[in-house]
């Protein structure tokens, strides 16, 4: 139940990326497809930029007043903003107001997801002492399958509706579906119980008055390590699975249906890799696994984009993408959850997770398109992915967390 909201959050958030081609036509019309897509992805990035703010707000509330209220608030905000995105008028109907309203709703989406995933990580880290690697990887497996579900909805829409109808009105349906599911999740979340460790903390009145200040004063190194740990997670997810639908169809001429289906298969397989690395994390040195996962990114970044440019079967390349993304996501969140004590854990996880996704995940589509424009080389985004793997190796060298701290560590 902890991961149910995250499943829906990931579905709602990535639907925008999957509908990017249609949103570009309806909200950012341009005779130049490159400019139209770049503007659309820039709006996608706005949602990432406000994630740190949402993380700070919900992290503060979670560390001061409890975990449960954040679960209720984040999913409600996400549900309403997602549903309303499907109701927006287009540029041809209201002009500039259309993209402005779209940006506003993207801000609300990003704000809510900034508190969602860190909250789930915090809750699990406080309630699980054994098989923590497996449990954390299961959380992200469910989250990833929210992306799979969104991709399958996209594939179904492409099969069901002609391209013209998808552009005209079909793109709205996935947003309405996500909003409806979000309301259902809100009803379920109201029944959640508070974390026992937080209740013990509150009973002793040991909460940090301002968790962010405490982090900046006493845990600066952990904050930097945490950002570097999540950097390759954010970059690989966004570049390999969220950026590719528009990139492969508009710039490399791949079939939209094949790309959507291959993306779904790739993300599902990456979630299987999560579990494999999570199981290993319960028996093998976490530092060693982080080195292996980061090394996989460094080694396979260039080949993946070379194969796409050479027209290699999209399903085959997605298998390699699944290994790249799945290996690092199977271990990095676990390492992050072990960096901070309970009284600032929610805020610490939220700060690192959201700063990484905002600065590196959120900018990934824009950076990728900019690299392509500067170099006139469609394979140039590979170098950005490779650098993210190097940061993962740097974080591994810097981290100094205990091998397996107790969930109750204060």
In this structure, what CATH number is given to the domain that contains residue 284? 1.20.1250.20
Separation of alpha carbons 80 and 78, rounded Å = 6
Cα separation of 65 and 67, whole Å?
7
CA count, 13 A, side-chain hemisphere, 326: 25
Is 116 a member of any domain?
A: yes
Domains in the chain: how many in total? 1
In a domain, 123, yes or no: yes
* Burial class of residue 47 in the structure, from the number of CB atoms within 10 Å of its CB (0-12 exposed, 13-18 middle, 19+ buried): buried
Q: Tell me: the pLDDT tens digits for 220-239? A: 999 999 999 999 999 998 89
| 195 within domain boundaries | no
- The arithmetic mean of pLDDT across residues 180-193, rounded, is 83
Q: What is the arithmetic mean of pLDDT over 205-223?
A: 89
Q: Is 196 inside any structural domain?
A: no
Is 291 a domain residue? yes
Q: Say which residue the tokens 């271990």 belong to.
A: 331
Asked whether residue 103 is assigned to any structural domain, the reply reads yes
- Between 184 and 408, the more confident residue is 184
Tens digit of pLDDT for each residue in 93-130? Answer: 988 888 889 888 988 888 888 888 898 888 888 877 77
pLDDT in tens, 249-271: 888 888 888 887 888 889 889 99
Residue 147 has pLDDT above 70, yes or no: yes
What's the domain range around 368?
A: 4-189+219-395
Does residue 211 form part of some domain? no
CA separation for the pair 102, 90 (Å, rounded): 10
38, pLDDT greater than 70 = no
Q: What's the rounded Cα separation, in Å, for the pair 340 and 25?
A: 45
> Mean pLDDT score of the chain, rounded to an integer?
86
Domain assignment of residue 208, yes or no: no
pLDDT of 343 above 70: yes
pLDDT the model gives residue 34: 67
């Amino acid at each position: 139940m902890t991961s149910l909201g995250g499943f829906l959050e990931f579905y709602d958030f990535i639907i925008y990326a999957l509908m990017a081609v249609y949103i570009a036509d309806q909200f950012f019309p341009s005779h130049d497809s490159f400019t139209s897509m770049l503007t659309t992805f820039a709006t996608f990035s706005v949602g990432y930029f406000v994630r740190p703010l949402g993380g700070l707000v919900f992290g503060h509330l979670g560390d001061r007043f409890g975990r449960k209220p954040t679960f209720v608030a984040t999913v409600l905000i996400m549900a309403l903003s997602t549903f309303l995105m499907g109701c927006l008028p287009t540029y041809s109907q209201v002009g500039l107001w259309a993209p402005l309203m779209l940006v506003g709703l993207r801000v609300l989406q990003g704000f809510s997801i900034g508190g969602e995933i860190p909250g789930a990580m915090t809750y699990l880290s406080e309630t699980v002492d054994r098989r923590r690697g497996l449990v954390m990887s299961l959380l992200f497996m469910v989250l990833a399958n929210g992306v799979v579900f969104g991709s399958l909805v996209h594939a179904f829409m492409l099969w069901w509706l002609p391209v013209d109808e998808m552009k005209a009105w079909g793109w709205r349906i996935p947003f309405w579906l996500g909003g409806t599911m979000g309301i259902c999740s809100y009803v379920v979340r109201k029944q959640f119980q508070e974390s026992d460790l937080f209740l013990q903390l509150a009973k002793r009145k040991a909460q940090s008055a301002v968790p962010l200040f405490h982090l900046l004063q006493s845990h600066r190194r952990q904050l930097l390590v945490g950002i570097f740990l999540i950097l390759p997670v954010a970059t690989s997810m966004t570049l390999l699975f969220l950026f590719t639908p528009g990139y492969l169809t508009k710039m490399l001429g791949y079939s939209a249906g094949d790309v959507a289906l291959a993306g779904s298969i790739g993300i599902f397989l990456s979630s299987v890799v999560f579990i494999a690395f999570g199981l290993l994390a319960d028996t093998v040195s976490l530092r060693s696994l982080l080195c292996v996962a980061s090394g996989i990114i460094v080694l396979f970044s260039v080949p993946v984009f070379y194969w796409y440019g050479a027209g290699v079967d999209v399903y085959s390349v997605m298998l390699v993408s699944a290994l790249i993304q799945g290996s690092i996501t199977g271990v990095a969140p676990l390492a992050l959850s072990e960096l901070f004590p309970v009284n600032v854990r929610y805020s610490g996880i939220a700060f690192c997770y959201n700063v990484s996704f905002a600065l590196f995940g959120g900018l990934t589509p824009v950076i990728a398109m900019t690299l392509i424009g500067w170099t006139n080389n469609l394979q140039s985004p590979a170098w950005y992915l490779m650098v993210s793997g190097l940061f993962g190796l740097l974080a591994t060298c810097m981290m100094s967390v205990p091998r397996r701290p107790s969930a109750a560590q204060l």
